Structures are given as structure tokens and as C-alpha cells.
Amino acid sequence: MTELSDLPIRDSLKGRTPYGAPQLHVPIALNVNENTHRIPEPVALDVVSRLAAAVININRYPDREFSTLREKLANYLGFGLNANQLWAANGSNEVIQQIFQAFGGPGRKALGFHPTYSMYSLIALGAETDYVESDRADRYELTPELIRAAIAEHQPDIIMLCSPNNPTGTPLSLSCIEAAYEATSGIVVVDEAYAEFSHGQEQSAISLLPNRPRLLVSRTMSKAFAFAGARLGYLAADPAVIDALRLVRLPYHLSAFTQAAAEAALDHSKELLATVADIQVQRDRLLVELAELGYDPYRSDSNFVLFAGVEDPNAMFEALLARGILVRNVGIPNTLRVTAGTPSETTAFLEALADLTHRG
């Protein structure tokens, strides 16, 4: 049998492992920070009717500039944005990949703050971009001083700031983003995948876009919008940045179906985001009840909680899985990460954990 290592694969990919959060069919999946609520049936029906309309012209390539979708994204975000400041791709992972293709590459370097989203290093690898990570302060917090020092040390071309941070949930202040921007002549990417769950949405880095053409803010419909399966991520930035991404995107990268489904979802953004308040309640409940169980949860502005004090994360992961509950072991010693689900999912997780904690 041919092994991967038998192939003339690029040296930089030899021995590497792909992104691989387990995809297991369990009753309670709280492992990849999806919105665990299904979309409302009337919204689903409208999505289907838009897909039906799109199929009539499916012999033709879709709108390469996805103009209608970009307009709807600009309207959704607000902040006075125009469609020419918006871009989208098949998930924000693809947006980030396009950023690396345009602004990274051989001889260039990207900087992240450990621990952070694992895809940054994998995307950098695929784009032949060096990737370095600086440590965070106590309890995974970032400060302007720490960011300035890391930029001075590494002189990166791309700075990845995840706000709030995955997998820790840590919020990021606007002063940290301003400090990063002032300290570099490179690109500053703020990944706001979980922005809708944060306490102060006016705190979005989008508010900093005016007069900062090297600042890029990415968002996704995979989390708060409950639309992960549709694959739609997007970006707000200076129109010149959008022009740069046009150089590397594949022609017609957003299918007619993707555009139609995302447009429908944006027309129903109020209904789709109606679950956000419930999820915030469950997140805050996790923070309180995990502490009551004797664990040490980190503060979170997202729809998940990282908690320390887990003696054997692998064993706890497996014990929860045996009860049909899937969480995430992100590889930080003595921690696990759990997504805030529906009230009953959160209850089931907390009860199982309480039971396993008292046994242990």
C-alpha cells in the first residue's frame, strides 16, 4: 500500500497532521463551537426556495463578484461599511488562506499568540509562510505592551489576533489592536469568528477600520448564524485589500448555491441570531457552575468555555464521550473546552461532569 511518505510531497508537509477535530455522531456534540440550535423552519424553507431559484441558471457561472451578497454583508455589519469593503469565501478559513496567499509567502513571517486557533499555523504552512507564536500573559490575556514587544522581536508581515480568542475565550481590547497596528507596517488580521457572542459588540475591530488600510477583520456565518454547513466566511477591510484578494482567489470561488443560501440567511439575520442571547446565558452558566464544581474556567466572550483543573483530560474526554457528550481536548494540560449548547445540552454536560468529578 502506498503511504503518504512514499509520495514526492513538499518537504515542509512531510510528517505533518491535518486539522482533525473528531466528527463523531453523538447525542450531544459540544466540541467545535457550532450553534447547536437548528435554524427555524420558515428560514429553512426560504433558503430552499432561493436554492431552487438559483438552480434555474446553474448552467452559467455564478456572479464572480457576489455583489448582492457583499451588499447584504455590509448592511448586516453596519459601521457605515460599503460593499466594496467586503469580501467573502467558503468559510473564514478560506478568507484567511487568501490573506496568506496575498500577504504571506516564502521569506515572510506571521505572528500569533499562543494558545490560539490551530488553523493559523496550518494555513501558514500551506502558504510557505513562517509562523511564530508568542506567549500570552497570565490567564491567556493580551496587553498592548506584550503585543508591541512580540512585534518588535519577530518583525512579522502578518499578525493574527483572534478576538475573542479560540480556544481560551479571552476578549481582546481595542487598545491591543491599535497597538498592534501602530507597531507594524505589516497586515493586522482580527479574527472575529465569535464577535456576536461578546459582551460589547461596539468593541468590534470594525470600528477601527477608518484610516487603517492594513487592518483586516474576518467574520463567519459558521458560529452565531447557525450556518456552519453552508461555508460562508467574510472580511471587512479597505477596498485595496479586497483588490489584493482578487489576485489569489479562484475564479467563481463562491458557488451560486452558497451565494443564494447566504443571502437568504442574511435576510433572516434577526431570526437566526435570536438564539445568541440564550447561548450567552448558557455560557455564563457554565462559568458559574464549573467553578462551583471546583474547576477553574477562564473568562469567555465567546460561545465556549475553557476550564482548567481537569486531572486527566483524556480520561475525562473519554468518560464524557461514553455518555454521549463530545467536548474538545485542545492539548492544553489539565484543561478541556466545551461549547455552550441549548439549556438541556448544557445541563446534561454539567450533570455528567458533576457525576464524574465526584467519582474521581
Least CB distance to ligand PLP at residue 356 (A): 26
**CA–CA distances in Å: residue 177 to residues 5, 147, 246, 274:** 41, 9, 25, 29
Query: Given the DSSP bridges, would you call strands 304-308 and 335-339 parallel, antiparallel or unpaired?
Result: antiparallel
Interacting residue with ligand PLP among 92, 184, 282, 339 (CB under 6 A): 92
- Name the packing angle between helices 119-126 and 92-103 (round to 10°): 40
Separation CA 173–CA 171 (nearest Å): 7
Task: Give yes or no for residue 222 binding ligand PLP (CB under 6 A).
Answer: yes
Q: How far is the CB of 219 from ligand PLP (least distance, A)?
A: 8
Distance CA 71, CA 302 (A): 26
Q: Report the residue number, 115 or 233, with the smaller CB distance to ligand PLP.
A: 233
Smallest gap from residue 102 Cβ to ligand PLP (A): 17
The one among 156, 169, 233, 297 contacting ligand PLP by CB under 6 A? 233
* Cβ 321 vs Cβ 24: under 8 Å: yes
Contact string (CB under 6 A) for ligand PLP, positions 32-61, x = contact: -x----------------------------
Q: Which region among 89-97, 137-145, 276-284, 322-330 touches ligand PLP (by CB under 6 A)?
A: 89-97
To which H or E segment does residue 145 belong? helix 144-154
220 binds ligand PLP (CB under 6 A): yes
Residue 217 host element (H or E): strand 215-220
Judged by CB under 6 A, which stretch of 148-156, 203-211, 221-229, 321-329 contacts ligand PLP? Answer: 221-229
Q: Is 140 in the site for ligand PLP (CB under 6 A)?
A: no
Query: CA 335, CA 327: separation in Å to the nearest integer?
Result: 11
Phi (first) and psi of residue 356, to 5 degrees: -70, -30
Q: Which residues of the shown chain bind ligand PLP in the complex (CB under 6 A)? A: 33, 91-93, 117, 162, 166, 191, 193, 220, 222-223, 228, 233
